[in-house]
Structure 1
Amino acid sequence: MTWLITGGAGYIGAHVVRAMTEAGERTVVYDDLSTGVAERIPDGVPLVVGSTLDRALVTRAIAGHGITGVVHLAAKKQVGESVDLPLHYYHENVEGLRVLLEAVVDAGVPSFVFSSSAAVYGAPDGAPGTLVTEDTSCVPMNPYGETKLAGEWLVRAVGRAHGLATASLRYFNVAGAATPELADTGVFNLVPMVFEKLTAGEPPRIFGADYPTPDGTCVRDYIHVVDLAEAHVAAAHRLAASPGTDLTLNIGRGEGVSVREMIDRIAGITGHTLPPTITARRPGDPPSVVASADRIADTLHWKSTHDTHDMITSAWQGWLLRHPTAAGGAAGGAAGGAAGAEGADRAEEADR
């Protein structure tokens, strides 16, 4: 098959392109390069530069490259920005998806994988430690999460109406890198935010240490970007083999890690041992959001293979590639990796 990967020059997107290519699939990247980096795209993979809002260009890309499946990762994804710019987020994330789906249906493309988010769950009910299943009520707390949930509805409805095989993949907290060159270059997620603080010689911050969790700090589920990319390959193969399939799946490890635990792990790897500062809670941070990964294991026979040490180590190596002076921690920090404090990640994925 030939897969169009929208957002394929982003952090997650480039890993998906790499995994799909290694699995023997032909890929074409479609990216407006507003946050993506063209150098991330492997040699021999075509790049179409443009927005998913450009129906004519999308149509030409599908026809010109013989596209038989789409993995849609392109989206705006900063929670705070979505609160300030809801119209922009709905236009880019929902209208952009509608335009893309319209072109997909008209071209008869049979398979569509949608990049969703744990942000659709909002602050799940239940005691800390309760795993979030795909049947947990979805009550997003911000426009970003709303656009992802609306996107799932649209994808599912179009799939049912037109016989399109679909999968909506709900990412939890993404970290790590396959190679230093593919590491996250943004500073919007937990891991790079903590790296930035430590590199500047400043303590990371914990927003609230009085939650009903074992150590009082928020608990989250972290997934290595390489595992995440492999889940996309598994979903793509399932859709290609099973026309009419309709999947909604969590992508996580099913293991909660607290903010304080992540800080300790970062310190052990990077050699930066500045103790964190505790500040007031941020409004809307749920105590614990940890995925149940049973359904994806049963459905796609996929399971994560990387732990937080792998995430921290690989992310730190990528950070050092761009900030070589950051290795000045107590232990030199050459090993690599990250993850952090800066409060609990609000299910914001990295630049796709």
Structure 2
Amino acid sequence: MSHLILHHYPSSPFSEKIRAVLGFKQLAWKSVIIPSVMPKPDVVALTGGYRKTPFLQIGADIYCDSALICDVLEHEQPEPVLYPPHLKGVARVFAQWADSTLFWAAMAYNLQPKGAAVLFANLPPAAAQVFGEDRREMSAGMQRLRPADATAAYRSYLRRIAHMAEEHDFLFGAEPCLADFAAYHPLWFTRQCVPVMADIFAATPAVLEWMDRIAALGHGRMEKFSAADAITVAAGMEPLPLTDDVFQDEHGIPLGSQVTIAAESFGTEPTEGELIAATRTRYTLRRTDPRAGTVHVHFPRIGYVLRPVTSAS
């Protein structure tokens, strides 16, 4: 029985990033399909407030953000490697660029009216409005690219990726690494979810060939699972023991404090709980839910804001 439970939905780009990593590592996993917009009561029962997609569940441990999920999957299945020793730094830096700058340029291009019409073509008329309102709430205060600027940037980024893909089968060599999966998912959305927008790839055939190589890795061994069963799994298990290295204090907030953790920009809904670890790379909160029981919710440090509850706004 697989103990990896991925909470995701089919058209989520960051979910495709993780599904592709699961394929690369040929892992078995359980698939819980979650809503693309709020309300998400089953999600919040596990995460405590975090509502971005995807998140990974292992028993009563909840891992938020695709960057942290990749670290967890590397620990679960070290081979083949996502972080080759000679690329460990550059792969992470490139992935951070791809998950932010490239992603937002791609999505501003993808969701122009022509692309949005295709994305919502088979859904009820109100679905596009509900999705748009939901994402506006998630991105309140963010500076978003205008379509023309996004198109120009996306074309430039595709040319740069093509230069890399022309040199090797994958971006940094003969085998894929974290950088490939981070760059792949926003481009996958263009090609698979809004194919009417995919003519932007015409000038960079090497990018399409590289994408085909990533797609050929598959999604691993997936088994359907229900949200109710996932919550039952969490309620019936104890969180995993913490490592010895549990505290690197950068905030003057002691372990045991009630805190909130929220994303810096997009999807800033906070999760509240007891701070039980603040390692070099991640935060861990302990929280209790009437349905899920006691869970540990983990976040990466990079991209997230830690605040004591007394001063949280």
What TM-score results when the alignment is normalised by the length of structure 2? 0.30
In terms of fraction of residues, the more helix-rich structure is 2
